[in-house]
Amino acid sequence: MAPALFVSHGAPSFALEPGLAGPALQALGANLKPKAVVIVSPHWMTRGGVAVTTGTHLETIHDFGGFAPALYQLAYPAKGDPALASEVMALLEKAGWPVVADPHRGLDHGAWVPLMHLYPKADVPVVAVSMPYPMDAKAALALGKALAPLRAQNVLVLGSGSLTHNLYEFRQHSLEDEAYVARFAAWVREKLATGDDAALVDLYNQSPDTRRAHPTNDHYLPLLVALGARRQGDAFGVLEGGITHGVLAMDSFLFGEAQ
């Protein structure tokens, strides 16, 4: 049984600046060898339904600008898994999601950057699932629930987002950690540890730091996808990631055992 995982992928520079989170993901990947990874990232959104990658090889998409030239030279040669993609599509259709196959789509940086740390040899096949737009918190949980049966096939269900994501403040290049970032990260961790899913869904009314931590919810929703794939009795684990760029909390969360 593979676990479900939420990863904070931070800025694209995370690929070259691993900080605390990179080694934590690498250590996890060394002990966790799933058959494949099914990943959801907010950098691939589709209107009207869900898209699924069905190609055998997934291109590395450099979907960002203004970063160090070295980042644009990086490649993550991930292999796809068309057979698994068909199973993913069937599960989503069974759960009532409109689904389309995308044989040409590669991996955006929200997918390949954390995967470079988790599986640096690119030796685990990957299937990417888009985030339907628009999508609210309850729908994100439902998407994760639809993907949950994959775990029994030793498939890692991975939501890649960011525990905090204020792009305006990120672009200010703050040199000091903002206090609200640590408060919000601690609030989320406490709610996850105590199983308070209702608060995590209603976060804009439950935490006074939410609107600053997430002016938009796109990078928060992958956490709820991973949470939706949780099973009753799953162990809860935290991968400490610290804070980068003053405003990006980098913690990741594991639901289930890494084995």
| Residue 203 CB neighbour total at 10 angstroms | 22
Burial 115-154, CB ≥16 within 10 A → b, else e: bbbbbeebebbbbbbbbbeebebebbbbbbbbbbebbeee
Pick the more confident residue, 129 or 175.
Answer: 129
pTM for this entry: 0.96
Q: Widest CA span of the chain, in angstroms? A: 48
The chain-wide mean pLDDT, for the chain, equals 95
Of the candidates 2, 44, 8, the one whose C-alpha atom is nearest the C-alpha of residue 223 is 8
pLDDT of residue 166: 83
Contact between residue 13 and residue 67 where contact means Cβ atoms under 8 Å apart:
yes
pLDDT of residue 48: 86
Does the pLDDT value for residue 175 go beyond 60? Answer: no
pLDDT of residue 169: 74
pLDDT of residue 170: 66
Pick the more confident residue, 171 or 126.
Answer: 126
Contact between residue 59 and residue 75 where contact means Cβ atoms under 8 Å apart:
no
pLDDT of residue 176: 65
Tell me what the mean pLDDT of segment 243-257 comes to.
Answer: 94
Confidence of residue 259 (pLDDT cuts 50, 70, 90): low
Least confident window among 39-43, 65-69, 128-132, 252-256: 65-69
Tell me what the mean pLDDT of segment 76-82 comes to.
Answer: 98
What's the pLDDT tens digit per position in 179-189?
A: 999 999 999 99
CA dihedral 2, 199, 194, 21 (to 10 degrees): 50
Tell me what the mean pLDDT of segment 196-216 comes to.
Answer: 96
Contact between residue 257 and residue 5 where contact means Cβ atoms under 8 Å apart:
no
